[in-house]
Chains A and B, each alone.
Chain A
Amino acid sequence: MEQFEIIVILLLLSFITLIFTGFPLAWVLGGVSFLFTVIAFALADWFNVDTYFLRSWDDFAVIVDRIYAQMSSWVLVALPMFIFMGLMLDRSGVAERLMKSFAKLFGGLRGGLAITVILIGVLLAASTGIVGASVVLLSMLALPIMLEKNYSKPLMTGVVASSGTLGILIPPSIMLVIMADQLSLPVGTLFMGAVFPGLLLGVCYVLYVVGVGLFNPSAAPAPAQHERITWADVWDTVLAVIPPFGLILAVLGTIFFGIATPTEASGIGAMGATLLAAANKRLNMDVIRQVARETSLTTAFIFGIFLGATAFALVMRSLGGDEFIGDLLKGLPFPDWGVVAFILFVAFISGFFLDWLEISLIILPLVAPVVEALGYDLAWFTVLFAVCLQTSFLTPPVGFSLFYLKGVAPPGIEIQHIYKGVIPFVLIQIFVLVMVFLFEDIVMWLPGQMY
């Protein structure tokens, strides 16, 4: 092993240790990179250690050029815009209306409310993609009614957490935008590629709820008596569905019909959500101010990690870490598909502790060249990876969706209900992951139709 490869291992270990101190991740990444730069110089100067391409301040100063590269990335403009859109939609009252009319329509069925949550989750996912907002919204709308109707607590929390998480995968998706930027893949291809895996997840969730209704009726009770559904209720539902479909059309439609690129579509979507809020009489200066500020804060916490990760990647790379890890992976005694499976397994396990953003920024760029060299389609692999990272929202101890849910859940719902509730959904995620792994067409068919 080369001397610089030992430093790489120490760098990784220090990072893993330091994130558990609770210091912000972004600054752990940046700070560790700085510390190891200093260590590398000292070792090179005083002990004549071979530190590969980390030999002078100039080698670290490239960080400035790399930050400017982030600043001048047009593709990443979509990120704050999709965030803006999601936050605005959250305040537009669209989801409340959906919940009310869907609950009326399906509330009489066994497990009907749970299915309602999944349907709204899919609709929200396709019109926006801020997981936090979706989970919070679904929790506040659905949990009180489901409690009242005696649904089992694990079932309802599991349904809400996982349905709210679909938005990170089903386009528009900021995760796919970031991955496209990292790997220089077309955003549109990833968007189209993620549609069927995302819908498949939704379908599997529904099937699971139906299954629970059949085999464990007390978990998903049917109400003793339910109001009769009138045509007016159906019409109400149709009206409630129009706005989210309008927004889906504003984003995916403008891409599909050649009016705008995916980046520009994000701005159109943000405008669309604002108009929806106005149509529902929810728009005022205060709402715009809140949405703008919240967009800044959310964008900034993502870019903080971007900054840290770009420093970390630079130091890793300058120490020869890319080749080192690539060679390790290629040297595994597995067949090609085994290497890919192993990478996904690592991403899945990392997902317990890290979230999608760090994994996309740190692990994905390291492993993508290896997967490409093995001859796999990078777009397919990226979508697989995305499904894997979507799961990280649901896996404790660090699972964003679980925290969001707990943060707004009504009294009586404990964290163990939530942990217990997500287990079947994590298993469904793994099932879909395996399906996508085995049947490449689930991803590749739709983008193939585009060209």
Chain B
Amino acid sequence: MSAKPVDRQDNAGDHDALPADFNLPRTRVSNVLDKFVRAIGRATAWLWVLLVLVIVLQVALRYLFNMGSIQLEELQWHIYAVGFILGLSYCLVEDRHVRVDVIAERLRPKTRAWIEMLGLTFLLLPFLTTILIQSVPYIWSSFIQSETSAAPGGLPYRWILKSFMFWGFLLLIIAALARFLRCTAFIFGLPRPIWPRD
């Protein structure tokens, strides 16, 4: 597994530095895409703070005032759902998805870039695209049936929550494409690679 400590602290202060892991160069287009995905990822990270507050509020209302709120209960997993589904692409941009690199770390950088490019082409992108396409009728059916929560007094407009599946996977595809460009930049020099200055 990549030996990155979970609490790496280097990505908070510096807003422009994009990662250059195992020596993949950046490109102009991938920079734009990466920054876009990362900006959304960073904004949605605040959802976790909101989630803490909602849970504390919910417990306090019930324990202190015997007031239960199904809407607050549902809001908890709505926030969590949006948070993790949008976080996936942020995680990809920061290259924090877990790898088994026992063998891979002994390979030449170019070989690793080839593996990365082939993996993106034949494993990740088809998988993401399939889900993106399949999510459309799923969300649409929720929309045209004006789906609401099945819970008594639950939250309405369930399609909005479901549509985050689409946005989440769209962002994932964007992040994967950016990474794909960085691979081709390294392997073929196309688009023009930008190497980070040390």
A–B direct contact (CB < 8 Å) = yes
Which A residues from 260 to 302 make CB contacts under 8 A with B?
260, 264, 266-268, 270-271, 274, 286, 288-290, 292-301
- The closest CB in chain B to the CB of A292 belongs to B45
| Residue B17 CB within 8 A of the other chain | no
| B1:A304 contact, CB within 8 angstroms | no
- The closest CB in chain A to the CB of B95 belongs to A24
| A293:B100 contact, CB within 8 angstroms | no
Chain B window 110-151, contacts with chain A (Cβ cutoff 8 Å), 1 for yes, 0 for no: 001001100100111011101100110010000000000000
Q: Please, how many angstroms separate the alpha-carbon atoms of A27 and B130 in the complex? A: 13
Residues in A whose Cβ lies below 8 Å from that of B4: 407
| B123:A30 contact, CB within 8 angstroms | yes
| A297:B96 contact, CB within 8 angstroms | yes
Q: Please, how many angstroms separate the alpha-carbon atoms of A266 and B101 in the complex? A: 33
| Residue B69 CB within 8 A of the other chain | no
Binds B, one of A1-9, A227-235, A395-403: A395-403
Q: How far is the CB of A42 from chain B (nearest CB, A)?
A: 14
Residues in B whose Cβ lies below 8 Å from that of A240: none
Q: Please, how many angstroms separate the alpha-carbon atoms of A341 and B160 in the complex? A: 47
Main SS of chain B's interface residues? helix
| A136:B7 contact, CB within 8 angstroms | yes
* Residue in B13, B41, B63, B127 whose Cβ sees the most chain A Cβ within 10 Å: B127
Chain A window 306-332, contacts with chain B (Cβ cutoff 8 Å), 1 for yes, 0 for no: 010001000000000000000000000
| Residue A422 CB within 8 A of the other chain | no
Interchain CB contact (< 8 A) of A23 among B13, B87, B119: B119
| Residue B193 CB within 8 A of the other chain | no
Residues in A whose Cβ lies below 8 Å from that of B124: 27, 30-31
Binds B, one of A70-78, A105-113, A148-156, A365-373: A70-78
Residues in B whose Cβ lies below 8 Å from that of A34: 123, 126-127, 130
| Residue A41 CB within 8 A of the other chain | no
Residues in B whose Cβ lies below 8 Å from that of A72: 77, 81
Residues in B whose Cβ lies below 8 Å from that of A55: none
| Residue A252 CB within 8 A of the other chain | no
Residues in B whose Cβ lies below 8 Å from that of A214: none
* Residue in B6, B56, B99, B102 whose Cβ sees the most chain A Cβ within 10 Å: B6
| Residue A142 CB within 8 A of the other chain | no
| Residue B194 CB within 8 A of the other chain | no
| B1:A80 contact, CB within 8 angstroms | no
Main SS of chain A's interface residues? helix
Q: A299-B84, A300-B91, A407-B3 are in contact. Are A292 and B126 (CB under 8 A)?
A: no
- The closest CB in chain B to the CB of A87 belongs to B7
| Residue A380 CB within 8 A of the other chain | no
| B165:A74 contact, CB within 8 angstroms | no
How many chain B residues touch A (CB < 8 A): the figure is 70
| Residue B55 CB within 8 A of the other chain | yes
Chain A window 386-417, contacts with chain B (Cβ cutoff 8 Å), 1 for yes, 0 for no: 00000000000110100110111000000000
Q: Please, how many angstroms separate the alpha-carbon atoms of A443 and B72 in the complex? A: 35
| B84:A301 contact, CB within 8 angstroms | no
Binds B, one of A43-51, A61-69, A201-209, A423-431: A61-69
Q: A267-B56, A294-B6, A407-B4 are in contact. Are A23 and B123 (CB under 8 A)?
A: yes
| Residue B48 CB within 8 A of the other chain | yes
Q: Please, how many angstroms separate the alpha-carbon atoms of A434 and B58 in the complex? A: 42
Residues in B whose Cβ lies below 8 Å from that of A35: 122-123, 126
Q: Please, how many angstroms separate the alpha-carbon atoms of A404 and B8 in the complex? A: 11
| B1:A20 contact, CB within 8 angstroms | no
Q: How far is the CB of B197 from chain A (nearest CB, A)?
A: 25
Which B residues from 1 to 60 make CB contacts under 8 A with A?
1-9, 11-13, 41-42, 44-46, 48-49, 51-52, 54-56, 58-59
| B100:A25 contact, CB within 8 angstroms | yes
Q: How far is the CB of A358 from chain B (nearest CB, A)?
A: 9
Chosen A-B contacts, 18 in total, with CB atoms closer than 8 Å, are: A19-B100, A21-B104, A23-B123, A27-B97, A31-B123, A67-B165, A68-B165, A71-B161, A80-B84, A132-B7, A266-B55, A267-B59, A270-B55, A298-B6, A299-B83, A300-B84, A303-B84, A407-B3
B positions within 8 Å CB-CB of A? 1-9, 11-13, 41-42, 44-46, 48-49, 51-52, 54-56, 58-59, 63, 73, 76-77, 80-81, 83-85, 87-88, 90-91, 94, 96-105, 107, 112, 115-116, 119, 122-124, 126-128, 130-131, 134-135, 138, 161-162, 164-165
Lowest 4 A-B CB distances belong to which pairs? A31-B123, A22-B104, A267-B55, A132-B6
Known contacts A264-B58, A267-B56, then 9 further A-B pairs from the complex at CB < 8 Å, ordered by chain A residue: A22-B101, A27-B119, A72-B81, A289-B45, A293-B12, A299-B87, A303-B88, A311-B127, A353-B102
